[in-house]
Structure 1
Amino acid sequence: MSPNKPILICQCAERGLVEIGSVPRDVAAVIVPDLCKAAAARDPRLANEFAEIHACHPRAVRALFDFAGHPLGAGVDVVNHRDPAIRPSGDPSFQSNPAWYPVIDYNRCTACGQCHEFCLFGVYEKTDEGRVVVAHPGSCKNNCPACARICPETAIIFPKVGESPINGAEITDEDQRKANVKINVDEILGDDVYAALNARKQKRRSLLDQKKIDKALEERRKCSEKKL
């Protein structure tokens, strides 16, 4: 670790998913309560050139930094503190104003747009170049990782989810991953995938009706009170 570069520590305060010990006094550290929230807020501290990052799965961390506009260099060491051997330090239920939203692993994303068509809450947008982006992270429905389950390339990451690999864990078995995606799509959409996606797209448009928007917000509130 370079003595001239700070380390970053994510405490994941809302879910207690990581447990990090004390930092030596001679080490410069940037401590954020929640890296997801810092990335969504475009926290300027994330622009630092870090020697190490202590947080969760490296794939999720790199996607969060991409989302924040500060891609990590290849030489940055990401230390995964979501090791099963480490007992979570807090209650995994949400506190107020949770930082729950997806980020995209662009090393896997093919810009097929299924996540954009599937989401009812306008989280995703497509750029003029066809790139899918998380444009409105605050609109994501708490505890809902459904879009990640239908992504054919498993490119959608929800860092706070307990289930691998949609929480950003490394993918080691591509055949099993593809099988799991097929099961998820069948369960969520049924046999006619594209017809179901089109139906969801029309439903999303119907949410422009204020009463339906109010109902969706109420559903979102109730969902936030439940554990994943």
Structure 2
Amino acid sequence: MTTPRQKKRLTAPREEIAWFPVIDPELCNGCGECMDICRPGVFGPALEVGAGRPKMTVMNPFNCVVLCTRCEPRCPSGAITLPAAADFEHFVELIH
């Protein structure tokens, strides 16, 4: 028997919660893996002029789902970091 997914609710307005990824442009190789994995559309190509593929940037930080960590381990160059989840757990409560 499978259990239904528990629903979550934020305890503060999303715009007041500083949970979002940061990309180190020195490490980013522009592969776009983050953009492919992120359903809410947090990432996009940076607007830069030059040869090669553009680096990625956090275009929509408040689209990031609080406590989601899917992008960080998928980044092959290790350019993505997220804040410590323990500092943000109080912003999410489970509802029944």
* TM-score in same-fold range (> 0.5): yes
Identical pairs, percent? 34
Q: CA offsets per residue over residues 74-111 of structure 1, 9 Å max, x none? A: xxxxxxxxxxxxxxxxxxxx852321000011221111
**1:120 matched to which residue of 2?**
39
Counterpart CA distance in 2 for 1:141 and 1:121 is 8
What is the aligned counterpart of 1:224 among 84, 87, 92?
A: 92
User: Is 1:143 the equivalent of 2:67?
Assistant: yes
Counterpart CA distance in 1 for 2:92 and 2:37 is 20
Counterpart CA distance in 1 for 2:92 and 2:42 is 17
**3-state secondary structure, aligned to 1:133:** strand
**1:102 matched to which residue of 2?**
21
Structure 1: unaligned runs, 5 residues or longer: 1-93, 163-222
Task: Report the AA paired with residue 66 of structure 2.
Answer: N
Determine which structure has greater relative contact order: mean sequence separation of CA pairs < 8 Å that are 6+ residues apart, divided by chain length. Answer: 2
More strand by share: 2
Q: CA offsets per residue over residues 157-177 of structure 1, 9 Å max, x none? A: 102236xxxxxxxxxxxxxxx
**TM-score, normalised by the number of residues in structure 2:** 0.65
More helix by share: 1
Pairing 1:18-167 to 2, within 5 Å after superposition: 96=12, 97-129=16-48, 130-161=54-85
**TM-score, normalised by the number of residues in structure 1:** 0.29
Structure 2: unaligned runs, 5 residues or longer: 1-9, 49-53
What is the aligned residue count? Answer: 73
Counterpart CA distance in 1 for 2:67 and 2:46 is 26
